[in-house]
Amino acid sequence: MGKFLPGFPGVLSKNRCRQSAFAAILALLPRNDDHAAPMPPSDTPPDLPDTTLARAMYRRLRADILSGALPPGGRLTLRALAERYGAGASPMREALSRLAAEGLAEQAEHRGFRVAAAPPGALAGLIRSRVLAECAALRESLRCGDAAWEEAVLLSGHRLQRLARSLDPQRLVANPAWEECHRHFHRALLAACGAPELLAFCDKLREEAQRYGAISSLRAYPGREVAAEHAAIARAVLARDAEEAAALLARHYEQTGAYVGAGLEGGAA
Q: Would you say 63 and 235 are in contact if contact means Cβ atoms under 8 Å apart?
A: no
Q: Given this model, what pLDDT does residue 30 score?
A: 53
Do 137 and 200 belong to one domain?
A: yes
pLDDT of res. 264: 78
Between CA 181 and CA 206 the distance in angstroms is 14
Does 95 lie in the same domain as 76?
yes
* Region for 37 from its dihedrals, namely left if φ exceeds 0, alpha if ψ lies in -120 to 50, beta otherwise: beta
Same-domain status, 82 and 144: no
Q: Is residue 108 part of a domain?
A: yes
In a domain, 56, yes or no: yes
83 in any annotated domain? yes
Provide the pLDDT for residue 107.
86
Q: What is the pLDDT of residues 218-229, one digit of tens each?
A: 555 556 789 999
Distance CA 206, CA 63 (A): 14
Same domain, 28 and 142: yes
pTM: 0.75
Domain assignment of residue 4, yes or no? no
Question: Would residue 17 count as lying in a domain?
Answer: no
pLDDT < 50 regions, the chain: 1-20, 32-49, 269
* Same domain as 210, residue 88: no
Do both 192 and 215 map to the same domain?
yes
Do 72 and 167 have their domain in common? no
CATH code, domain with 247: 1.20.120.530
Examine the domain organization and report whether 182 and 146 are in the same domain: yes
Query: Is residue 16 situated within a structural domain?
Result: no
Is the residue at 172 inside a domain?
yes
pLDDT at position 44: 42
Tell me which residue range forms the domain holding 145. 22-33+120-268
- Which residue among 115, 141, 156 closes a domain? 115
Number of domains in the chain: 2
Residue 216 has a pLDDT of 75
Q: Are residues 111 and 124 in the same domain?
A: no
Closest CA to 68 of 191, 204, 213, 200: 213
If asked whether residues 183 and 233 sit together in one domain, one would say yes
Which amino acid belongs to residue 2? G
Q: Which of 60, 81, 115 is the last residue of a domain?
A: 115
Q: Which of 115, 148, 166 is the last residue of a domain?
A: 115
Residue 174 neighbours by CB under 8 Å, 6+ apart: 67, 166, 167
Same domain, 133 and 204: yes
Positive or negative, the CA dihedral 225, 230, 233, 236 is negative
User: Does 12 fall in a domain?
Assistant: no
pLDDT value of position 174: 83
Say whether both 159 and 58 belong to one domain.
no
